Structure 1
Amino acid sequence: MKKMNNSVTTKEFMSLAAKESVDVLDLRDPEFYDSFDLLKGSSVLQIPLTQLPNQLGQLNKGKTYYLFTQFGGRSKTMAQFLRDQGYQVINVIGGASAYQKYMAS
């Protein structure tokens, strides 16, 4: 899997998560937290997008985080912000809604 890509599709993400433990950064608001318990062996850090700038201390610059928002749009913007701060992040295209559709198919 190409780590230099700034984004991956849900399918690429699921294929990677099936092979190795991944670090997920769930940026959705708390009322949307669900579904990611399906990723056995992976760690999911849940920080609402609006709180992230004040919570950067919870992130580890040695890890690569896969970012999820509800639909994937806002995570693209946040991914750029985090890269500018020196974090390694990959946006998951389509976010949690694409993930849920993928899991349902």
Structure 2
Amino acid sequence: MNNSLTAKEFAALAAKETVNVLDLSDADIFDTLDTIEHATVLQLPLTQLPNRLHQLDKDKTYYLFTQFGQRAKTMAQHLRNEGFNVIRITGGTSAYKQYLAS
């Protein structure tokens, strides 16, 4: 399984199938991902994630976003170690916004 996707690859995937998005951004920057047409978005600040793993389903694949994508790389590995299927979006919400604007 691919461990990451670019914003462009994610947008193409989300345009044709339902995706589960895990937005790990700080609460004050939740604003872009809820507009993805075929997505279920769970907004869960990174700082709260360790105490809220019970809210995630190990049978689903989650597409991880952070603001710039760096913290998602670390958290993706942690979630994989916990038994979750995750794919991080390189560049995070910043790259996704930039892709949508182009």
Equivalent position SS for 2:22: strand
The reply to whether residue 89 of structure 1 matches residue 93 of structure 2 is no
Partner Cα separation in structure 1 for residue 89 and residue 38 of structure 2? 18
Match of 2:95 in 1: 98
Match of 1:23 in 2: 20
The reply to whether residue 8 of structure 1 matches residue 5 of structure 2 is yes
Name the TM-score, length of structure 2 as normaliser.
0.98
Match of 1:32 in 2: 29
Equivalent in 70, 75, 91 of residue 73 of structure 1:
70
Q: CA deviation at 1:41?
A: 2.8
Q: CA deviation at 1:35?
A: 1.1
Partner Cα separation in structure 2 for residue 36 and residue 8 of structure 1? 15
Name the TM-score, length of structure 1 as normaliser.
0.95
Q: CA RMSD in A?
A: 0.6
Partner Cα separation in structure 2 for residue 30 and residue 18 of structure 1? 25
Q: CA deviation at 1:102?
A: 0.4
Gaps of 5+ in 2: none
Equivalent position SS for 2:94: helix
Kindly, what percent of the aligned residue pairs are identical?
63
Partner Cα separation in structure 2 for residue 87 and residue 38 of structure 1? 24
Q: Give every structure 1 segment of 4 or more consecutive aligned residues whose post-TM-superposition deviation is greater than 3 Å.
A: none
The reply to whether residue 48 of structure 1 matches residue 41 of structure 2 is no
